[in-house]
Amino acid sequence: MHIEVHESLSSSSFVNALRRFTAVRGPVRLFRSDRGTNFIGACKELRIRSDDHELNTYLHDQSSTWTFNPPHSSHMGGVWERMIGIARRILDALLLQTNTAHLSHEVLVTLMSEVMAIMNARPLVPVSSDPDMPTVLTPAMLLTQKVDPVLPPVGEYDLKDLYNKQWKQVQALADAFWKRWHQEYLVSLQPRRKWHVDKPNLSEGDVVLFKDAQVKRNEWPVRVVVNAIPSKDSKVRKVDLRVGRQGTQRVYCRPVSEVVLLVKGE
């Protein structure tokens, strides 16, 4: 996920945003977007056309193409639409609930960078061959070629810090975004449906994501199931998880409602 702050919706502003994007991420061969009614309406109001000459000239010079999804098919965006939808909903609620009218451009740009770091640190699939300390692939690893996530500065930050130093404003807002994002993203990984169809039980060797409300920003604790404990009806409702901390191994018992299966063990 990449977020850019625009001063306006003009073609010139959009070209500048593309230049900033490609300067950081590198050349892009294909751009895709939907035909949302808000986007089409903004284009009409501002007299910006999808076949704008200035924009198309820039794209042609860069050997890039821009493809629109069919009308009324935002679902064809798949992952990016879902991620953007969650982030937009959280930011709308966060900025409306707090007194953020006084935020400077610098604070807003830095906040969007923190939001990008949070979204790109989400877990995808385990890639480590170590059964005791599994490593999970994240979008940030693909973008930065680094394993460790970007952790927040040391200290506790609250929304009261909105009235203190600017860097504390950013950290307070980023922490508030993280709490909502962590909760809503985990819900999307573990949908609740009526139990009309049996699901496979968790078993020994499964790699799971542990739902811990106390984790720091951009941390996603991954655990390995060492023992699946069945109930009288043969359904597994609690498991033992191996946790490695500072070179020591411990085992904790947790209900299956607090874990999300990432990959089945062999």
The residue out of 54, 77, 100 marking a domain boundary is 77
Does residue 104 lie within any of the structural domains? no
| Partners of 63 in beta bridges | none
Per the domain annotation, does 176 fall within a domain?
A: no
| CB 221, CB 215: distance < 8 Å | yes
What sign for the dihedral angle of Cα 133, 138, 142, 143? negative
Final residue of a structural domain among 77, 106, 124: 77
Q: Cα–Cα distance between 190 and 203 in angstroms, integer? A: 17
Number of domains in the chain: 2
Which class for 43: exposed (0-12), middle (13-18), buried (19 or more C-beta within 10 A)? middle
CB 128 within 8 A of CB 140: no
pLDDT value of position 114: 93
Strand, coil or helix: what is 13? Answer: helix
Task: Supply 126's token pair.
Answer: 């385990």
Is there a contact between 243 and 249 (Cβ–Cβ < 8 Å)?
yes
Is 255 part of any domain? yes
Last residue of a domain, one of 77, 92, 108: 77
Q: What b/e readout covers 221-245, taking b as 16+ CB neighbours within 10 angstroms?
A: bbbbbbebeeeeeeebebbbbbeee
DSSP 245: E
How many Cβ atoms sit within 10 Å of the Cβ of residue 166?
A: 14
3-state secondary structure of 156: coil
Per-residue pLDDT 10s for the chain (266 aa) are 899 888 877 777 777 887 888 898 888 888 777 775 555 554 565 565 666 677 777 777 777 777 777 776 666 777 788 888 888 888 888 887 766 667 788 888 999 999 999 999 888 877 765 656 667 888 888 888 888 888 888 877 776 766 778 888 888 889 889 888 888 887 777 666 555 567 788 888 888 888 877 788 888 888 888 888 888 888 888 888 887 666 677 888 888 888 888 877 76
Q: Is residue 161 part of a domain?
A: no
Q: Is there a domain that residue 12 lies in?
A: yes
Question: Residues 190-210, buried b or exposed e (16+ Cβ, 10 A)?
Answer: eeeeeeeeeeeebeeebbbbb
pLDDT of res. 110: 92
Amino acid in position 120: N
Distance from C-alpha of 47 to C-alpha of 10, rounded to nearest angstrom: 9
Q: Is residue 19 part of a domain?
A: yes
- Among 159, 37, 156, 40, which residue's Cα sits nearest to residue 93? 159
Structure tokens at 115: 């939001």
Q: Which residue has tokens 């607090």?
A: 258
What is the span of the domain harbouring residue 247? Answer: 207-263
Q: CA-CA distance, 134 to 222, in Å (whole number)?
A: 7
32 in a structural domain: yes
65 within some domain: yes
Amino acid at residue number 130: D
Structure tokens of 21?
A: 């994007």
**Interacting residues of 251 by C-beta distance below 8 A, sequence separation 6+:** 226, 227, 240, 241, 242, 243
